[in-house]
Structure 1
Amino acid sequence: MKIKTSYTTTDVHVAGEAYRIMKDAPFDYYQSLQELNEQFPNIYEQEMKLLLNEPRGFAGLNGCLVVPPFKSGIDVAVVFFDHTGTVPMQYGGIVAVLTALLESGQLKAKPSAEYNIETVSGVVTARAILKDEEVKAVALKSGLCKVVKKQVPISYLDLQTEVTFVQADHLYAIFDKAELPFDMEIENLPEINQWGKKALEALGEESHAFSRIILLDHSQKSRGRIKTVTFRPDCYIVRSPGFGTLAASSTYLLENGDMFSGRQIENESIYNAKLSGELIAKNECDYSFSFSARGFITGIQTYVLDPTDPLSEGFLLQ
């Protein structure tokens, strides 16, 4: 085997969502993180395909490029990306990066336990709780979330319903599960997938450029619990209960008067992973939330590219 290129990565999952953290950046100079973010899809095209596509990756894998900070007072800078290009923010990626860097000793533990992470969306301050050199939890805050448009009627085949759009880390299209006949359990995945395809088709003509669809079951909201399934536009189900999903769903419930401020709410996925959040600020129609989650390192790998490999760019099956 000939080796043309090699990259060492750390894989971390946060509530089931997988992140591949890359630190071997090609040598180049950038004046700012924004410049790196803009040039990333072209300069890092090979790395994106090599590390995220099959046979080394899969359709749901997220990427994080860690680089030295561009600003003073910052601990680390991160560019988030997926199979199509850069992503402005991944809250789970913040948890994954801090977990990997602190547990490997690449980032020195601070007495304050607070770390500043530079992203293209701004500086994120997160608090990492360590015990016996393990990161037991990472706490962070969301950006502002707000309802963009309420109860928009849509229809497709037998799907006649309404959707509400909420801006959080993505623009979410939220559907109420109440009128649907199936429970949101893993054994009902075929029915859930079928519903997701109809919802995507129904939203095809909608002017909002949504990034995620949420199917929300809030039947247990009085107990501070919700259950969600989140779809990407390609109908792939997001594996995590989702920080953004939790923030968007909480914003939706607060605006409808279905949730009271000052209490914690827990979001559960169809495979029983859970994330919790709490409203920390409200300014007119804008909401902000705090989260806490733990990341788990699942592997440290070196990936290589053989120039004779006919699948050097990989592939995706969805």
Structure 2
Amino acid sequence: MKIQKAYTATDVHVAGEAFRIIKDAPLSYYPSLQQLDEQFPHVYADEIKLLLNEPRGFAGLNGCLIVPPFSREADAAVVFFTHEGTVPFQYGGAIAVITALLECGHLSQKKSNEYKLETVSGVISVRAVVEKDEVISVELVSNPCTIIQMNIPYKDTNYSLVQADQLYAIFKKSDVPFELQMEDLSEVQKWGQEVNTALDSNQSIKGVVLLDDLLLPNGRIKTVTFRKDNFIVRSPGFGTAAACYASLLFNGEFTMKQPFENESIFNSFITVQLANQSEDGYQFAFTSRGFITGMQTYVLDQEDPLAAGFLLK
């Protein structure tokens, strides 16, 4: 084997969603994080394919590139990316990054538990609680979520449009004949594909959500989120949670005086609490944690016929 490229990565999952974190990408100088973000899909195209595509990755894998901060107030700078290119921000990615930095010793623990990550969307604050060198919880606050439109007709039901980290179309589970559980996964997937196809003309919609609020009186909702490519988001969804709770609050269906949970179809969850309500919308505090699943070196053999990888969805 003749190694052409090699990258060491730390894999972390946050409530089931997987992130691959790299710190040793090719050395290049950029005067700002914005310029790095703009050039990343072109300059690092090979790295995206190598690290995220199969056979080393899979369709639901997210990437995080950590670089030294450009801002003096930040502890580290991060570029978030997927198979399609960079994304402005990922709540789960921020939790994964701060977990990896602290548990791997790349960032010193602070007594305040307060850390700052520089992203293309700005410097964001996270609170990470560490016990015995393990990050046991991470909290961060969302940007304001706004209600775009409620009760939009669709066949025999209706849906709502809510702008959180992206624009979500939210449907109620009470209008479908199946449950949000692994045993009904094939029906869940079929429903998501049909709705995505029906809403395909609205390119601004980035996620379709099926919301089960039956257990809302017990402080919990259950959701499934479909991306535009019909892939199911592997976590309960941070933006999903904000969008769903914002729509429920807007409808006056409950008051959020204590923390609530958003549960996934495979029973992972994140904790959500209302942080602020103003004319700009609803802001929520998320609490979750990351778990390191592996530290590996990924290599590219120059004779490998699948150098660009592939994706099965």
Q: Could you tell which deviates more after superposition, 240-249 or 160-169? A: 160-169
Contact 2:144 2:280 in 1 (8 A): no
Separation in 1 of the partners of 2:285 and 2:254? 16
Structure 1, residues 107-146: CA drift from partner, whole Å, max 9, x if none? 1111111000001111110011111111111111111111
Question: Which letter does structure 2 place at the counterpart of 1:233?
Answer: K
Which amino acid is the alignment partner of residue 136 of structure 1?
A: I
Equivalent-residue separation in structure 2 for 1:148 and 1:50 (angstroms): 38
CA distance in 2 between counterparts of 1:175 and 1:20 reads 31
CA shift for structure 1 position 154: 2.7
Which residue is equivalent to 2:201?
Answer: 205
TM-score by length of 2: 0.98
Gaps of 5+ in 1: none
Q: For residues 193 and 28 of structure 2, what CA distance do their matches in structure 1 show?
A: 42
SS in 1 for 2:3: coil
SS, match of residue 4 in structure 1: strand
Q: Is contact 2:9-2:295 (8 Å) kept?
A: yes
Q: Residue in 2 aligned with 1:227?
A: 222
Query: Which among 172, 175, 178 is matched to residue 171 of structure 2?
Result: 175
Q: Which is worse superposed, 31-40 or 144-153?
A: 144-153
Superposed CA RMSD: 1.0
Match of 1:191 in 2: 187
Give the aligned residue type for 1:297. I
- Shift of residue 101, structure 1, vs aligned partner: 0.8
Query: Partners in 2 of 1:284 and 1:198 — Cα distance?
Result: 35
Question: How far is 1:263 from its partner?
Answer: 2.3
Question: Letter of the aligned partner of 2:48 in structure 1?
Answer: M
1:103 shift after superposition: 0.6
In the alignment, structure 1 residue 106 sits paired with structure 2 residue 106: yes
Q: State the identity %.
A: 56
- Please list, as runs of the form range in 1=range in 2, the aligned pairs for 1:135-174 lying within 5 A after superposition: 135-155=135-155, 160-174=156-170
Alignment map for 1:263-302 (pairs within 5 Å) = 263-284=258-279, 286-302=281-297
Letter in 2 for 1:257: G
Q: What is the aligned residue count?
A: 313
The residue aligned with 1:92 is: 92
Residue 17 (structure 2) aligns with: 17
Report the secondary structure of 2:285's partner residue.
strand
Deviation at 1:204, TM superposition (A): 1.8
1:242 to 237, 242, 260: 237
Distance 2:169 2:118 in 1: 28
Cα distance in 1 between the residues matched to 2:173 and 2:198? 16
Pick which of 173-182 and 34-43 moved more: 173-182
Q: Deviations over 1:171-221 (max 9, x none)?
A: 111111112111111100011011101111110233x51111100011111
Partner of 1:181: helix, strand, or coil? coil
Does structure 2 conserve the Cα–Cα contact (< 8 Å) formed by 1:221 and 1:258? no
CA distance in 1 between counterparts of 2:175 and 2:32 reads 49
Change (3 A) 1:285 1:255: farther
TM-score by length of 1: 0.96
Deviations 1:75-128 (A, max 9, x none): 000000000000111101111011111011011111111000001111110011
User: In 1, distance between residues paired with 2:254 and 2:168?
Assistant: 18
Displaced runs of 4 or more, over 2 A: none
